[in-house]
Amino acid sequence: MNFWDSSLNPKSLEVVVNFVRQLASCPIIADSLIANGFIPWLKDALNCGVLSVRIASARAVYELSFNSKTRKEMGECGCTIALIKMLDGKVVEEKDAAAMALSKLLLYDGNQKVFRNGERGIANAVQLLDPSTQNLDKMYIFSILSELVNSKKCRKQMVVVGACVYLQKLVEMNVEGAKRLLESLGRGKIWGVFARP
């Protein structure tokens, strides 16, 4: 943590965050990091102006989100909001890292609420279903949307911004997980009314 505190060059934080991410694979070390106040620093790194630091930080969130307590702490600290913004990033690698982290954070109900109430969360996630978006693991997006699909309001939002159209294309491409999410969206048969090309 001393290196983190004394670092003047944001780019050098990438090294620290990547190191922490590797350490976080050990639950005992991860617990120690969290107990020593690492989460607020991680939230700041997610908002850093250096792309590589944001990506490394999102991956660290994924590794550290191993239980409900930690997911709750990260959400309360503002990590969920920062990651939602990253879903709208310009680089696919940033979007993928954010989706990866959110797929874990949204396992906690409180973070789902933050995501639902966010202005662009669902729309940004649905846009990443577009088959033309290359080098992005759709499973993380499926996981995010699956956590929200039980809400009628969220289902409607997903459908309105084109989720069913994208998912149908992914089903035709035999992308694993697409069919299950499409069927979940089809509950109540509202998707046929709202789907757009």
CA atoms lying within 13 Å on the CB side of residue 136:
26
d(CA 159, CA 162): 5
Single-letter residue type at 117: N
Q: How large is the angle between the packed helices 68-77 and 51-64, nearest 10 degrees?
A: 150
**Predicted local distance difference test score (pLDDT) of residue 187:** 67
Does pTM top 0.75 for this prediction? yes
d(CA 25, CA 92): 25
Single-letter residue type at 65: S
**Predicted local distance difference test score (pLDDT) of residue 191:** 42
**Predicted local distance difference test score (pLDDT) of residue 62:** 95
**Predicted local distance difference test score (pLDDT) of residue 196:** 40
**Predicted local distance difference test score (pLDDT) of residue 5:** 58
**Predicted local distance difference test score (pLDDT) of residue 36:** 86
Average pLDDT, consecutive stretches of 10 residues, N- to C-terminus, the chain (197 residues): 56 81 84 87 90 94 92 96 95 98 97 90 96 94 96 92 96 95 75 44
Q: What is the 3-state secondary structure (H, E, C) of 36-70?
A: CCHHHHHHHHHCCCCHHHHHHHHHHHHHHCCCHHH
Q: pLDDT tens across 42-77, in order?
A: 899 999 899 999 999 999 999 999 899 999 999 999
Map out the domains of the chain with their CATH numbers. Answer: 1-118 (1.25.10.10), 120-187 (no CATH)
**Predicted local distance difference test score (pLDDT) of residue 143:** 97
Tell me if 170 sits within 8 A of 180, measured CB to CB: no
